[in-house]
Structure 1
């Protein structure tokens, strides 16, 4: 018997066996956390494997070092200054655990990072899994292909296999790795919670509606995202995605797929940039309906009850609009705002519109424009996710509204809840705050971590010492995560109901996409 096998049979140490080979993580920290970083969960998607479904990693001999993060995937974000190496060879994952024996079968939480499917990585200090792992779960995070490498669709690629959505296929491959390997880290492959924020939450919703994901996770948490659905309609159609791919090939000189695969990755990446000035739905390579991973608009799948019927915890922040001013209707004056709103919603609906988005003054119009942006980009689709999931009454749902502010977090913006969920309390860079966390911030982090860990453990966030959190139902009551934590009727319900009135068969008007 191998010496490593003998050691791990008795206790969980720095060396763990995976299906592809042994990995060596870091030493246990003061909290007893073992971390393993940069473990390949798929073969490098380069050369012939560019724009292919992920393949299993090649086995290795000996013990592979797993003490540092693997390279992040190439970013499509213009002028992305986020730290850390990036490479096309980027399909790596990380594991944090405090298990002392591999047979402990602890709940597993698998994190999908956000970034509009265009940027981001699992090496973000805000999402270090150590503090959550110290609370009793096994935490996994991973990279997945982004932008043109993750979501290019093209008819010539379809001749090989359904194209597009390679980034979603990477996520499925990471979940299959967890199912096959996480028991060696003390995790339970039959108790996996998929959680993510923004694009990560949207991926969780998309995968809940994907037949290919069944059995790979058993609960879902969505933070500020649902299923890639909002102001600009749902994710791209099959035809739209292929038209975008053909246009991209023409821009490169009408190159063949073989020629595109031979081009340097940096050259391709530079040819497909994206910025916050436009929604990735209308301006970038992003998830699409491929009739395979994504058989139909996810909201329609939920409307028909075709999603995975698993416990869901989902919510949004009170100032989601903060990073997305470019996606707002004109707000420099009440007149400009009203003109744009009438074009979007129709003159016959303006009386209803003004009841929820008042614009009697320039200041009021500016505030309403901000609220509308947060609602259409993020909030309303999260609310839809909760409503559509609980209407079948086959699995519980829990909703929240994060509205907490402090010196550390002066705006409850998009992404500001993440350091509380992970207990990292890293600087709130998106809102420009450098104030250190205080005890009130640490207290909220402990509460939110308790909710999230309880949900991952039992499908219910409630537990000893925590304010009670009722299941979401037709009363539209959500847990308010603020200085005072309590369950209250959704304060944005009237606005969301107005937007919902424009949905047909679960989908917002496609003409809104043309107004981008």
Structure 2
């Protein structure tokens, strides 16, 4: 009897067939990683598809090159200095894989970029996925609609389909593309980790609470973001978002939706600019309750256990306030800060507030205003995310606090952890550093990459040779990612508990809307 031969699995090369057609990426780099860039995951959202749910891309014949990033979506950030082409036709994604055979079923990590849902793109040197992919995962990043083109809510649009969160629907479409296609790149569609930073982390938290996302990802990592709420209360409600949309249409000569769809995209973006001085949650076109993608306040969904009970790793940085200082409570003097704090938190709670955010001098008031800003924009909601998730059915939960500084990263600001996670160690422009990374920076990066990849692989960041990272529990111990990597008490626990005490049924007070 002739010996049985086992068919060899199909080799994976730079030519891959997706459901819409063949794509050709870049050949393997020095680490054996293939890169595929600019693959369409949805039809261009232009003309009659502006402000509609993303549609599948049209199939194509032959082979399409996937060698360069697609254009980023149009930015609402005033005087956005970031390079790269931008276009309304922007719904593309990128894949990095070191798999050599199609059936390897490597863990998949899908990245959502930040930018307040107003700016940003997947073509960011800091988030190039090739070094993470070399550690054994398949990495995906993508663009999604931003600002008014991504988040306009309007009653006339509701007559067509639920409106308001087209950018989030793009994210869901990208995840559906991953589910349908990632096996062709050596990835496992049943082991997908969704991770993101800032607005990207907010999107991860929102989607964990969305009934439309169930089954599209299986683990979650949130870096400096959670629920899309903060200093001015919860995200916009259903009626608030539609009032904003109607007001925008009136400013465009009271244009109908049909007329707005014919206007140049640049004109629409210019009519709804955003800057860091404005609240990105309530004073911009951004995620809102649409009763479709977002049924309710995200934190409330978690409070009631109406979210995905999947492994979660989340945390925040030591100086999150750095880019957001223009939105701080007034602190030109100690008295001004105390007065604004009393208006926000109430006279009965002012003494408790001042124990945590002292303001005996002008210098103290400025320091406390900065700390409060970081806590309210980012930190407290990350802490709530960990607490609420751990309390619900005991899902695996891991928390971190990134406070690492060095000449390369002199401030543990918002976004400074990103180059460490991806191993890219690109210049830390947000804090004005031009110092190149040193050996200590590279060592921390390798540790963080291993933690993230381990978590994506099996829902636990721990692994051989790494400092032990305990699961998050009622003791509020988080992994300190600093000059020393070790478990430690949450350094902002008392401040977060104070701010969290103002949540009612998961939501921050609506009256904060009116406080300057």
Q: Residue deviations 1:10-55, cap 9 Å, x none?
A: 2100000000000000011000010000000000000000000000
Q: CA deviation at 1:282?
A: 2.1
| Aligned ranges 1:413-492 → 2 under 5 Å | 413-492=413-492
1:325 equivalenced with 2:325 (yes/no): yes
SS of aligned partner of 1:172: helix
SS of equivalent residue, structure 2 residue 103: coil
Q: Partner of 2:351: helix, strand, or coil?
A: helix
Matches within 5 A, 1:120-199: 120-199=120-199
Instruction: Name the residue aligned to 2:366.
Output: 366
Unaligned stretches of 5+ residues in structure 1 = 1-7
In structure 1, what is the equivalent of residue 59 of structure 2?
A: 59
Aligned mates of 2:65, 2:434 — CA distance in 1: 34
Question: Which position in structure 1 is the counterpart of 2:90?
Answer: 90
Alignment match, 1:300: 300
CA distance in 1, matches of 2:233, 2:168: 19
* Aligned position for 1:5: none
Say whether 1:287 aligns with 2:287. Answer: yes
Aligned-partner SS, 1:70: coil
Could you tell me how far 1:9 is from its partner in structure 2?
A: 5.7
The aligned counterpart of 1:3 is none
Following superposition, the deviation at residue 333 of structure 1 comes to 1.7
The secondary structure found in structure 2 opposite 1:262 is coil
- Partners of 2:254 and 2:392 in 1: how far apart? 48
Aligned to 1:266: 266
> Does 2:101 match 1:101?
yes
Aligned counterparts of 1:514 and 1:225: Cα–Cα separation in 2: 23
Tell me the alpha carbon deviations over residues 465-490 of structure 1, each in whole angstroms, 9 at most, x when there is no partner.
Answer: 10000010110000000010010110
Quick check: 1:236 aligned with 2:236? Answer: yes
Structural mapping, 1:374-413, within 5 Å: 374-413=374-413
Shift of 1:393: 3.2
Distance in 1 of aligned mates of 2:163 and 2:86: 24
1:49 aligns with 2:49: yes
Q: Which residue of structure 2 lines up, in the alignment, with residue 334 of structure 1?
A: 334
TM-superposition CA deviations, 1:443-484 (whole Å, max 9, x none): 000000000000000000000010000010110000000010
How far is 1:362 from its partner?
1.4
Q: Is the 8 A contact 2:209 2:308 kept in 1?
A: yes
Partner Cα distance (2:287, 2:10) in 1: 44
The 2-side partners of 1:514 and 1:116 are apart by 21
**How does the TM-score come out when normalised to structure 1?**
0.98
SS at match of 2:282: helix
**What SS is found at the alignment partner of 1:99?**
coil
Question: CA RMSD of the aligned region, Å?
Answer: 1.0
Alpha-carbon offset, residue 366 of structure 1: 1.2
Instruction: State the distance in 2 between where 1:127 and 1:278 align.
Output: 26
Partner Cα separation in structure 1 for residue 10 and residue 103 of structure 2: 9
Unaligned runs of 5+ in 2: 1-7
SS in 1 for 2:133: helix
Structure 1 segments (4+ residues) deviating >2 Å = none
Q: Secondary structure at the match of 2:38?
A: strand
Give TM-score, length-normalised by structure 2: 0.98
Show CA shifts across 1:248-278 (max 9, x none).
0000011111100011111111111111111
Deviation at 1:233, TM superposition (A): 1.3
Match of 2:504 in 1: 504
Tell whether 2:54 aligns with 1:70.
Answer: no
